[in-house]
């Protein structure tokens, strides 16, 4: 059962991080530059959100399989911190730069603050994947 | 030389021995492999969703496909070499695991499919491709990639 939840968690990450990456690449002006940013956001974000919800649900189940072990795992703790930071990045972006998206919607390369948000997002998800992958290694490396 | 002998030769070559003797090299390569996988997911999904009439459906298929293909190739450039290294590290073990071969077979199938039939469908003039065939192509692509991913995750299980 745990293995099925783990499989779901890892496979859904391709949907979640995958679509998020395509979104972030558009914000960086590195892909689909002829498509308006609001179009990419509007059409891909529902999939990203759905993926995110499945990630949270499966992640919560994985946590509850052995809560004390996870809580004491340094990689898990850092991963949760990274998740909060990623959420913060999204929230700040949506409430500042993205408010005025109509001004730069059609630009192939968005303004610097949007690019920073996109790049930071990519970096944070990469860190999330790394930390998640390292969770089992606490046993070998630290204990 | 049998396949097993070849695996043995790979696994005990100098670079792979070095990879195994470091406690962090294998996890790092595995992590990079996983990042490549996430990127592949995005590039494939954007196009397959479009073929299914979802996602970026106000854009021409060919335009989405062309942009996505660039990133698909880049992510394969990351996933394939890291995957090869991961395999070579414990080649003789993987040789005996069913799901490893399931993964390899579906990977070969999906790569051939993607760069032949799927490519032809996505790059074709949209008025000439029936929506039914577009959906079939998308579903085949998604099924094969899912098999690759699940096969990969279940490699360790008997």
pLDDT tens for residues A11-56?
Answer: 999 999 999 999 999 999 999 999 999 999 999 999 999 999 999 9
- The structural domain count of chain A equals 1
**Domain ranges, residue A69:** 2-141
Provide the pLDDT for residue A51: 95
Print the domain residue range for B149: 3-153
- Is B122 a domain residue? yes
User: CB–CB of A2/B141 below 8 Å?
Assistant: no
Cβ contact, residue pair A47, B45, below 8 Å: yes
pLDDT at site A142: 66
- Residues of B with Cβ-Cβ distance to A34 under 8 angstroms: 63
Domain count, chain B: 1
- Using CA coordinates, name the residue in chain B closest to A9: B153
Residues 6 or more apart in contact with residue B20 via CB below 8 angstroms: B26, B89
Out of A15, A25, A140, whose CB is closest to B45? A15
Q: Are B70 and A31 in contact (CB < 8 Å)?
A: yes
Whether B29 is in a domain gets the answer yes
Look at residue B158 and tell me if it is in a domain. Answer: no
Q: How far, CA to CA in Å, does A86 sit from each of A114, B34, B122?
A: 14, 19, 34
Indicate yes or no: CB of B38 within 8 angstroms of CB of A129.
yes
Residue B78 maps to a domain: yes
The ipTM value here is 0.89
Name the residue in chain A with its Cα closest to that of B28. Answer: A130
Among left, alpha and beta (phi > 0; psi -120 to 50; other), residue B53 is left
Query: What integer best gives the mean pLDDT of chain A?
Result: 91
Query: pLDDT at position B17, please?
Result: 85
Q: Please tell me which residue of chain A has the smallest CA distance to B63.
A: A32
What's this model's pTM, rounded to 2 decimal places? 0.91
| Partners of residue A44 in chain B, C-beta under 8 Å | 46, 55-56
- Is there a contact between B42 and A21 (Cβ–Cβ < 8 Å)? yes
What is the signed CA dihedral for B93, B99, B104, B105, rounded to 10 degrees? 140
Nearest Cα to Cα of residue A114 among A130, A132, A95, A133: A95
pLDDT value at residue B12: 86
CB B45 within 8 A of CB A18: yes
For each successive 10 residues of chain B (158 residues), what is the average pLDDT?
85 84 87 95 95 92 94 96 92 90 96 95 85 94 96 82
Residue A17: left if φ>0, alpha if ψ -120 to 50, beta else—which one?
alpha
Q: Do A10 and B153 touch (CB under 8 A)?
A: yes
pLDDT digits (tens, 9 = 90+) for A46-77: 999 999 999 999 999 999 988 888 888 999 99
Q: Are A41 and A121 in contact (CB under 8 A)?
A: no
The reply to whether residue A18 touches residue B41, judged by beta carbons under 8 angstroms, is yes
| Cβ count near A65 (within 10 Å) | 13
B23, B70, B149 member nearest A11 (Cβ): B149
Sequence-separated contacts (24+) of B139-145 with Cβ below 8 Å: B139/B52, B140/B113, B141/B44, B141/B48, B141/B110, B141/B113, B141/B114, B142/B44, B142/B45, B142/B48, B144/B106, B144/B109, B144/B110, B144/B113, B145/B40, B145/B41, B145/B44, B145/B110
**A21: closest CA of chain B, how far (Å):** 7
């Amino acid at each position: 059962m745990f293995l099925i939840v783990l499989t779901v968690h890892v496979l859904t990450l391709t949907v979640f991080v995958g679509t998020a990456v395509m979104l972030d690449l558009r914000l960086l002006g590195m892909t689909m530059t002829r498509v308006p940013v609001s179009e990419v956001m509007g059409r891909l974000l529902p999939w990203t959100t759905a993926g995110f919800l499945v990630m949270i649900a499966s992640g919560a189940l994985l946590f509850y399989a052995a809560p004390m072990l996870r809580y004491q795992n340094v990689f898990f703790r850092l991963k949760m911190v990274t998740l909060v930071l990623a959420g913060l990045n999204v929230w700040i972006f949506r409430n500042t730069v993205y408010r005025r998206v109509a001004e730069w919607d059609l630009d192939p390369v968005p303004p610097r603050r949007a690019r920073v948000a996109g790049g930071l997002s990519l970096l944070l998800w990469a860190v999330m994947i790394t930390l998640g992958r390292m969770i089992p290694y606490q046993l070998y490396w630290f204990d | 030389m049998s396949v097993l002998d070849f695996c043995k030769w790979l696994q005990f070559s100098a670079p792979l021995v070095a990879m195994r003797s470091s406690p962090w090299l294998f996890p790092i390569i595995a992590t990079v492999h996983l990042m490549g996988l996430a990127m592949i997911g995005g590039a494939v999904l954007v196009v397959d969703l479009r073929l299914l009439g979802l996602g970026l459906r106000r854009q021409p298929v060919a335009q989405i496909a062309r942009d996505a293909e660039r990133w698909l190739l880049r992510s394969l450039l990351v996933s394939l070499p890291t995957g090869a290294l991961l395999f070579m590290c414990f080649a003789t073990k993987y040789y005996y695991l069913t799901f490893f071969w399931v993964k390899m077979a579906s990977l070969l199938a999906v790569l051939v499919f993607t760069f032949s039939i799927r490519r032809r469908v996505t790059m074709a003039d949209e008025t000439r491709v029936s929506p039914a065939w577009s959906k079939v192509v998308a579903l085949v692509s998604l099924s094969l990639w899912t098999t690759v991913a699940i096969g990969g995750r279940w490699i360790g299980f008997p």
